[in-house]
């Protein structure tokens, strides 16, 4: 009996010693939508993030990762409470989130006020790397302006003059349309009507009737996730696909093609990713992702993967010590991030400067047509760092 006790004690002491020697885990607060119209996007981001960590032996700079997950439900009214819990109750070292621009703006405000590191793996809210920019806030994705602006140039070049836009009435939809309009009208086009409905509503019928009555040359849209699936199907069912060409920010057809089926065939969209880039880095990533998850990756998976890469770059420079904040930040700022989308750097306001591709839906893929806008940088309006 006694000897059993003693050996248990010895084992316990040995365990304590090894724990004491190992560096503490890095606490990552994953604040993402795991329910609602953007649920699949949140899951893909988490998958991508975890894949990068797994490829590096489940550690970054010798430190294991601990995840604390919150379902933000894409609900801005709950965002400040959620993010405060992660910071104050869970003591996370870094926040990773989110998909929805309204929620991301609340996260950025708290991150800025508390100095917590934040990496945004999707939400495109222009102000996050604009007026709200801060040294501790980074984005691995895009601004809403970027794909919209690129598509404005594409549609103008095709010779279309009169366009109707349709989107959800919140920052992402508004800013995507603004980016489109800026480029399209600069090239002589005119946005004749801006239609919208509240997020995340999918009652499109009345608006589709209005599009049919307006008879524009083309339609530009921002929808994503479950809403994008329904919009593409409803647009085709209303008979509009045959008469009025539909263009969108690439979220319209990313991660959605399985569900959209033939109704998405031939759609042209602009985005910082495509399914057949043919880059060695992307081929390896796609293989690794498919092996791990039995799923094809999409743009959200890439952005999650790159959020982990950016954290890894900062940590490597700081030798795993997050208190070396200035070193951590400087390393990410000057990095060339080896993304599956193609390598990118960050603008002064910490947003990717990246190629925006024109893609065409062919079968179950967003096939690369060409580069719509080379090394496109968001203007970062209002950012003073
Ligand atoms: C956003 O709210 O910024 C947002 C959401 C989903 C997307 C893209 C942008 O696919």
Q: How far apart are CA 23 and CA 20, in angstroms?
A: 8
Q: What is the pLDDT along the chain (385 residues), one digit of tens a residue?
A: 444 454 555 555 555 545 556 789 999 999 999 999 999 999 999 999 999 999 999 999 999 999 999 999 999 999 999 999 999 999 999 999 999 999 999 999 999 999 999 999 999 999 999 999 999 999 999 999 999 999 999 999 999 999 999 999 999 999 999 999 999 999 999 999 999 999 999 999 999 999 999 999 999 999 999 999 999 999 999 999 999 999 999 999 999 999 999 999 999 999 999 999 999 999 999 999 999 999 999 999 999 999 999 999 999 999 999 999 999 999 999 999 999 999 999 999 999 999 999 999 999 999 999 999 999 999 999 999 8
**Ligand 1 pocket mutation, candidates 72, 101, 249, criterion most atoms within 8 A of CB:** 101
Whether ligand 1 lies within 6 angstroms of the CB of 246 is answered as: no
CA 142 to ligand 1 center in whole angstroms = 10
CA 124 to ligand 1 center in whole angstroms = 6
Asked whether 26 and 68 are in contact (CB, 8 A), the reply is no
The residues pairing with 120 across neighbouring beta strands, listed in sequence order, are 139
Q: How far apart are CA 169 and CA 125, in angstroms?
A: 13
Long-range contacts of 332-336 (CB under 8 A, 24+ apart): 332/138, 335/310
Asked whether 76 and 88 are in contact (CB, 8 A), the reply is no
Asked whether 305 and 340 are in contact (CB, 8 A), the reply is yes
Whether ligand 1 lies within 6 angstroms of the CB of 70 is answered as: no
**Ligand 1 pocket mutation, candidates 40, 74, 100, 303, criterion most atoms within 8 A of CB:** 100
Q: How far apart are CA 336 and CA 339, in angstroms?
A: 9
Looking at residue 385, the DSSP 8-state letter turns out to be: -
Kindly report whether the peptide bond that precedes residue 371 is cis, defined as omega within 30 degrees of 0.
Answer: no
Looking at residue 86, the DSSP 8-state letter turns out to be: I
CA 168 to ligand 1 center in whole angstroms = 10
CA 38 to ligand 1: nearest atom: 6
Asked whether 226 and 37 are in contact (CB, 8 A), the reply is yes
Q: How far apart are CA 281 and CA 346, in angstroms?
A: 19
pTM reported for the whole predicted model: 0.94
Contacts of 104 (CB under 8 A, 6+ apart): 97, 98, 120, 122, 123, 125, 128
Give the angle subtended at the CA of 250 by the CAs of 249 and 253, to the nearest 5°.
125
């Amino acid at each position: 009996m006694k000897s059993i006790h003693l050996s248990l004690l010895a084992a316990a002491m040995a365990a304590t010693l090894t724990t004491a020697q190992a560096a503490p885990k890095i606490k990552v607060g994953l604040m993402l939508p795991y329910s609602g119209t953007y649920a699949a996007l949140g899951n893909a981001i988490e998958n991508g993030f975890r894949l990068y960590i797994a490829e590096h032996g489940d550690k970054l700079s010798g430190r294991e990762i601990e995840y604390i997950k919150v379902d933000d439900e894409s609900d801005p009214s709950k965002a400040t409470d959620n993010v405060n819990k992660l910071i104050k109750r869970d003591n996370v070292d870094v926040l990773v989130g989110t998909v929805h621009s309204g929620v991301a703006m609340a996260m950025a405000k708290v991150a800025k006020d508390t100095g917590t590191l934040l990496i945004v793996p999707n939400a495109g809210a222009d102000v996050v790397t604009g007026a709200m920019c801060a040294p501790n806030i980074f984005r691995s994705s895009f601004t809403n302006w970027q794909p919209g602006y690129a598509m404005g140039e594409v549609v103008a070049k095709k010779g279309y003059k009169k366009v109707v836009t349709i989107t959800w009435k919140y920052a992402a939809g508004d800013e995507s349309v603004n980016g489109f309009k800026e480029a399209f009208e600069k090239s002589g086009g005119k946005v004749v009507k801006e239609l919208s409905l509240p997020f995340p509503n999918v009652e499109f019928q009345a608006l589709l009737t209005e599009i049919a009555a307006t008879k524009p040359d083309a339609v530009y849209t921002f929808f994503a996730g479950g809403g994008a699936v329904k919009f593409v199907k409803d647009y085709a069912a209303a008979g509009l696909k045959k008469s009025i060409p539909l263009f969108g920010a690439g979220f319209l057809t990313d991660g959605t093609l399985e569900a959209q089926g033939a109704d998405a065939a031939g759609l042209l969209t602009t985005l910082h990713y495509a399914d057949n880039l043919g880059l060695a880095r992307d081929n390896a990533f796609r293989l690794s992702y498919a092996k791990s998850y039995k799923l094809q990756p999409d743009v959200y998976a890439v952005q999650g993967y790159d959020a982990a890469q950016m954290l890894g770059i900062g940590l490597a420079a700081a030798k795993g010590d997050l208190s070396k904040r200035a070193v951590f930040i400087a390393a990410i700022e000057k990095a060339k991030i080896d993304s599956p989308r193609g390598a990118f750097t960050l603008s002064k306001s910490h947003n990717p400067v990246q190629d925006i591709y024109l893609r065409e839906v062919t079968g179950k893929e967003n096939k690369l047509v060409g580069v719509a806008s080379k090394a496109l940088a968001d203007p970062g309006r209002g950012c003073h760092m």
